[in-house]
Amino acid sequence: MIAESYKGSSISLRPPKYLFIFISVYAVFIPFLGRLLYVPTNGWDWFTTYTRGGTAGLLLLIAIQVIPITFWYLAAHYPEEKYLPFWTSIISGTVYMLHSHGIVDYSSSSTASLALLLIPVNAVGAIGIGWGLGYLLDLVVKRKWQLWLMITLGVMGLIYCSPLYDLNFAFTAIGYFWDLIFYPLLG
* Distance in angstroms (rounded) separating the CA atoms of residues 155 and 161: 10
- Give domain status of residue 108, yes or no: yes
User: What's the rounded mean pLDDT across residues 12-39?
Assistant: 84
pLDDT digits (tens, 9 = 90+) for 42-75: 888 888 888 887 888 888 888 899 999 999 989 8
- Give domain status of residue 40, yes or no: yes
- Give domain status of residue 117, yes or no: yes
- Give domain status of residue 55, yes or no: yes
* Distance in angstroms (rounded) separating the CA atoms of residues 143 and 121: 35
Q: What pTM does this model have?
A: 0.71
Helix (H, G, I), strand (E, B) or coil at 38: coil
- Give domain status of residue 4, yes or no: no
pLDDT value of position 44:
86
Range of the domain at 39: 14-186
**Neighbouring residues of 124: CB distance < 8 A, sequence distance ≥ 6:** 67, 68, 71
- Give domain status of residue 2, yes or no: no
Helix or strand holding residue 101 (H, E): helix 84-103
pLDDT value of position 167:
44
* Distance in angstroms (rounded) separating the CA atoms of residues 105 and 108: 6
* Distance in angstroms (rounded) separating the CA atoms of residues 120 and 101: 10
**Contact 135/70 with Cβ under 8 angstroms?**
no
Q: How deeply is 28 buried, as exposed, middle or buried, from its count of CB atoms within 10 A (0-12, 13-18, 19+)?
A: middle
| Dihedral sign, Cα of residue 45, residue 125, residue 6, residue 12 | positive
Helix (H, G, I), strand (E, B) or coil at 131: helix
**Contact 143/81 with Cβ under 8 angstroms?**
no
Residue 158 confidence (pLDDT) above 80 = no
Q: DSSP states of 105-126 as a string?
A: -TTS-TTGGGHHHHHHHHHHHH
Q: How many domains does the chain have?
A: 1
- Give domain status of residue 99, yes or no: yes
* Distance in angstroms (rounded) separating the CA atoms of residues 104 and 1: 41
* Distance in angstroms (rounded) separating the CA atoms of residues 69 and 59: 15
- Give domain status of residue 7, yes or no: no
- Measuring CA to CA, which residue among 95, 102, 76, 80 is closest to residue 23? 76
Instruction: Using pLDDT thresholds of 50, 70 and 90, give the confidence band for residue 164.
Output: very low
pLDDT digits (tens, 9 = 90+) for 82-135: 788 888 888 888 888 888 888 888 888 888 888 888 889 888 988 888 888 888
